[in-house]
Structure 1
């Protein structure tokens, strides 16, 4: 589109006073109208477009005035001074409504509305425009078929305020027509690389912490708002964003301020609009952190169908559960960055949750100029069961497509000069992936003043009838699986393979043990809470321990002060709360079925009210994104099925701001499956230690905890464990 500089020679003179710049009085009048509107409240979509058109016409007119050789120095200075006056009013208006700041950056009119406004103002100034500038056609909005699956199309909502934002945008919908791309032949193109990449992390190849090289600490703190201070490790991370890096797996241990780092990174990268996808429990906390660290930015928390959303916000915060109905409009507003908090939530690629996140991530990359948006996956526990838990996160970040590394990663692997046949390849491959943007810091390394953390096991005897019933149910489950095992052995008969025949009498065939346990696990999942299975058994153990754990927490609270009590099941939480009330201890509850304001009020009461002694928390709903560091003692009334959930729960207390040693008391039912589950959880900690922290730890069980627990029961029943 020709600028005013190129059309200046076609302008007609309108009046003697403004014959050198007839557009300036029009801009001055329009900017005063905008200023008056802003003084009486928020600007509507039409006035926001007007604000943008004024901004880029001021820049065009300034360039024209500077380049006009017919102007004398005095006339040129006078015109530039008048343009500076218009720009000053724009700046003051933007200071009053900070959402206007990003609108100052548009350098040309591209939406039909903005094009028409520019055309009309130039014609009013007496400019003669080219034919292509006079006729402006509406552009059909690009359909977001690749973002919204057909099954979710009917669920899509578009909040009314979002329509206003889309109309106010000066940018066209991007052209997403596939373009042929030349793919240079690489040395490793014929090799299968995903397996070796996972193996490199599984073996801990290289023996170092999985963290990319970060810039040194800047001499001056340019990030912290008044009254706050960015920690050294946080500042170095943000400096890497300032240096141009744009994709990160931020895997700092829980409690090291990943939310603050993300908010500051978005500010430095100017990655607005920014989408943040989070567990429901932390939506309010994210909004608070945005206000705390970047008070000049506005955050909109999306609730339900988003009817009351601030569509002109800089940051949109949505929880995983409702993301599916907002895919369409989120894919249309020109996102420039995306953060996925607790990114291990998307590890299951077959889940709709994961597919929604990955589809939006691809859309963000397509829409961002240069294809390099700010993409951040946050999780202190990226590995739950095995190293392939990295898969979805790497896909989200654009490092792989699940089958092959991306072009940048493939280039790094090619540059090693090695192949997967070379032993040295694995250490180099791990380093190559890390350099793509893995950042991992441990508390002991970056927060030396953070107190120690201790996990202490408290075995309890279940000597009542309930406890005896649990042990009997375990024996019956083991016997049922043992019967299946023996039937398989007998059915083999003379068809047994050489390996089975080589087993001495009484020796257990581990392949069949795994097969039987896997079948039992699948049946248990299908049955849910019906019958006696591993899930109902663990729930019964939790119920049996409930009052013992609650009594210990009550005694602990009287001696040490505030205590956080974690349980997995609602009935265990209910029993504990009733016990605390009977003991005269005031408690708050943090559960998954609470609204965000109610949950946040409970957190605030626990942290701020000295009369509140115990926080009763759901292990799944309160295990992430909740800050409870006013306590230093945690009681785990029930065990999780993953080491990650246990770590996340304890780190609600063991985090920045804690000034006392933290102790987590695990209540374990002795002589039951509970003891084995605790052992398996501890073994699972070794996976992250090898893959992320480069520690030389022995391999533990490779199976999920549920499967390994069932295999343990079966071995016991067969007399081999």
Structure 2
């Protein structure tokens, strides 16, 4: 039993007393922080970090003043004492602010609260053990306490914000919605008629906005645009800022989007894409806008360059990064395969629409581009999310530009000509649709487009580790052979003749299965790792461009692809080497004649010759062949007499692996073969030559890196 005058063991002080002490600690913490800011300002120029801390103190001071004034549990004398201390902190802030106009602006009641300042404020509270004040919005408190795997802020993004934390949004010049003004059509329900205007369109109705003739087709880096590509870029240069770019696959939508951003100076630029193409976007940015830096968001964004001009993020990780992306200050946004957002109840659609709205609210006339070869998947309502992303409509009505255009027609939904005029209004806002057949003169009859993919899962890490092991074994063989030379003469640099001999030894051992990890096994594993990604991309092509031929070397890669198509509800034919002639022809006929069969899954060796698949103009090469001839034979299944469209072969390449080296070697040998066929003395190369050269390159790179 406790003696009189003592608190019982295990009990705590009263809650009001604990709260009072905690708040006194907050004031003491703010006082220390403001003195540190004052001292830093007196020592020299005010740095971004000092400005961040200055605003954090100002924000916390404002919150504490509101809390103290509304605290009815404290005595009047205690509130007066706390307000006096807060006035003292405010005096120091004001005295410090007169040293720098930028600091003075941060004391304004409408100053934009930068995320770094809020973060520092949370740290100040955390030091003294006090949580977020009640005035902080619940969404912000949730974001601050969200699990790391759900919401993250890459460290380089924090560094960028600290370097320029007070970059104010361009709110003043953001156009206000014209629907706030009286309109003749204000009482009409317009979204339904607008959507149905596309269903009612007859044959020959325009599907593309009027595009200007380009004055120049040259792009940075010495590349040249095709005429149809240059037209869209010219429209962006002339001031157009929203595009639904619905060109068929193979017409270069990526290059058009990147150069439209260049023409509009829409940087920093956000690009949201499916995971299978995000590496390709970074690669294309390097080709078309080499003077602009691009970064790709992987996982939690540990490798993100927060100072890049172009930020590429895939739909699958967007939920983790939507917080900082919304505050980054993007002036343009591109959504690739925009039909991915057609379901407005999905999380990815909601995130994309939220980011679009934030960009439009902060930036005057941002560049917004939706890229898709399939603007409609199921029905006309699939347009809604894309139009909303572009800022043409909201949930219930047309927005500024579209409403103005409808007003100018002088028509209402009750008038006979309304639907045709309304459709024209939407198209003029930025619908761009060209088919291969429309621009056949612009593009080559047959072309190969490389699509690099990142193998960033467990299989990818295993493949890269195996490649390192193979390189180490080659180096060890090289060094042993070098040491065993009888002459003992020193070698300056790399003995390239010995490198080639070591590569031949390795290739011989691999052919007889005497080596451990070898080049053949690695290429098979790479094919297996790429299979799902290649099938996903094939499915996208099938939905947007019609029939697609999928080629693979190995049966297990074909199996993975067919499992993927089955899960996605895509019908396919399977053409393999173990089929009877009757079964083989049945599958070929199904692909050629049945409109519902979208993909032909073909063995590169069994279906590479002797069949006609010209109903498809898109081919996916999921695995690399060892020769250009084998690759060409596969492409020629579609690129043959009877084909009316240019043919595009999409070659799926595993970035940062030996796969990429072999692709380069195949292309270089293709040039030799072409010259030989034209009468050159060059000897046509075999598959063994490519395999040998791949090992030579791998060993040479390893020896160079070791020096």
> TM class, shorter-chain normalised?
0.3 to 0.5
